[in-house]
Each structure stands twice: as C-alpha cells, then as structure tokens.
Chains A and B, each alone.
Chain A
C-alpha cells in the first residue's frame, strides 16, 4: 500500500471498500500522524467492530480511531400520506 501522505487516506478507503468483510462505501478516512480516524454511518455494531479489525490488519503500527456511527433501525412511529 502506498503511504504517500497526499493519497494515503484514499488508499485506505479503497482497501476497506474492497474488503468483503466491510464493503462499506460511506467511510471517511483521515490520517493524522500515526492515527487513522474512521468516520461515517454503518448499519450495525458488528460491522462497526469489523471495520476496526480490518483497519488494524491493513495498518499495523497505526492507532485506529473508529468514530463511525451505528444508524438506528427501529420501527417507524407513523405514516406519511403521499397520494
């Protein structure tokens, strides 16, 4: 993996998207010194945890800060008339 600073976050994002354990296109990636900060929405806490696991595999030596948010999936309260 190229570690050229200008493109490193996008390289990480591309690797995460193509890992079938993640396959999440909504991730934001920032690299600050030896820290990699991951953001965005994810569907479940299991995927959230998997993202940390895969990121640690991809980026040994970096501290992974997983700041992704799990989107709620509760039943809706009402209805919307549309027609």
Chain B
C-alpha cells in the first residue's frame, strides 16, 4: 500500500505562520510521498517560497509539486521553481517523475493547468488574440499533461494539477467563475492517458471528491476544502476502484 499526503493552496507568505510546519514531524510516519497542488505562495515571491523550501528540506519523504496561479504573480515562476528544486522538491510542468516506494513504482505527471470551462460551456480559441491565448494556453498544458502521463511506465499513476479537471469538485463555488477554475480539457487528457488518482487545488470553496467522465477519482485538496494540513490517500488496497459497470454508468 502506498500512502500519498496531498494538499494545495498553502499560500506561504512572509510574516505568516507556516501551515505545514506543525505537522512536519509526524508526516513521514503518515505518508510515503507528499504532493503539493500549487499556490504554494501568496504572491509568487522568492522570499515566500524560501520559507516553504525551508520546511520541506527537513522532510524524509519525496515531495512533488506543481505551481499555481499565485506562484506566477511576481513573474518569478522560474526562480520559485529553482528554490523548491534546490530544497529537493521536484516541480512538474508538462513533465513526469517516478519514485520507488517499497518496491512499487509510483509516477506523477503534473501541470498547473488553466481555465476555460467544462463540457458544453467551454471557451474557444476563436476571435481576439486574448481569447486565443487564453484557451490556447489550456490546450497546450493539457497536451503536455497527456504526453507526460503516457510516458510513465509504473505501477500507479498520479495526475497532479492546480486547476480542476472536472465540475464536481467545484461544487460550492459560484457558477459564474467555473471557467476560471478549470477545464474539461485536463480531464480529457487524463482519461486518454489513464491515471489512478488526480489531485488539484485552486477551488477554495469547492468540494473534495469527484471523478472524471471515465471514472478516475479526483480530489480537490485545496487546504480550505480539506481543512487539514494535508489529507492522506492510499493506493494499492483495491478499494475505491470502479467496476466496469460503474464506470459505464458515470460515462452515461
């Protein structure tokens, strides 16, 4: 059994207490891997990410992250990424990585993702350059995610995002802002390539649990949603897997 600790939207800031720090001591006893679903900082500052990096450096388990929209606010996303990687955290954007846990290969493919909306109500890359850029960005990141997932040859695949791939985990948010919270293109990429579990953040007022149209479990681990320092999910127990009939029912 593999235990995954997951959380997003930690929003580390200067002068603000660390959300994760009080839980770090026990985390390696609770989980084999920590995944961070973006919005690690408040304003994307290197001073902010250094505080999180200092916390993560102490951990004795692998840490894998994607960045979120807040981590781009200062236009220093490359520096933010470097600070994390120097502290031993693997940061993914259209990339995948594999870790060995007790002889089991676990692959994580990640992207920030982006918005656009959901089936029947998605924006199109048509018209103004700004609209083409908006939807085009999502398409590019979804394609990168699918490619990264397909490249994994592992026992378990995890898709790690910041933006949501499905509507179900947005329930609680205002309907008007759904197009800014995620895109079905991300779910399509995941369903095409296959995964065992999807984690995302971003939707602070959303719901924790949902599934892609093909039945892959999705968990919104935004910290304000899970209301803990992190949640733990297990792979390899055989529980939580849909029967073929259940998967067909979801698709219908």
Contacts and interface: CB of A to CB of B under 8 A. Distances in A.
B9 to A, nearest CB: 8
A83 B233 CA distance: 9
Interface of B is mostly: loop
Interface stretch (B59-67, B163-171, B220-228): B220-228
B223 A73 contact: yes
B236 interface: yes
Interface residues on B, range: 35 or more
A23 B196 contact: no
Interface stretch (A5-13, A29-37, A39-47, A56-64): A39-47
A23 B234 contact: no
Given A46-B15, A83-B217, A75 B30 contact: yes
B13 interface: yes
Contacts of B205: 26, 41
A28 B240 CA distance: 37
B11 interface: yes
Contacts of B228: 72-76
Interface string B206-236: 0000000000010100011011111111111
Interface stretch (B16-24, B81-89, B90-98, B132-140): B16-24
A44 B51 CA distance: 16
Given A26-B205, A43-B11, A81 B239 contact: yes
B241 A76 contact: no
Interface of A: 20, 23-26, 41, 43-44, 46-47, 71-76, 78-83
Given A43-B223, A81-B240, A82-B235, 9 more contacts: A43-B11, A46-B15, A46-B17, A71-B224, A73-B228, A76-B226, A79-B3, A79-B232, A79-B233
Interface of B: 3, 10-11, 13, 15-17, 19, 22-23, 26, 30, 42-43, 45, 70, 73, 156, 196-197, 204-205, 217, 219, 223-224, 226-241
7 closest Cβ pairs, A-B complex: A81-B239, A83-B196, A81-B237, A79-B232, A82-B240, A76-B228, A23-B42
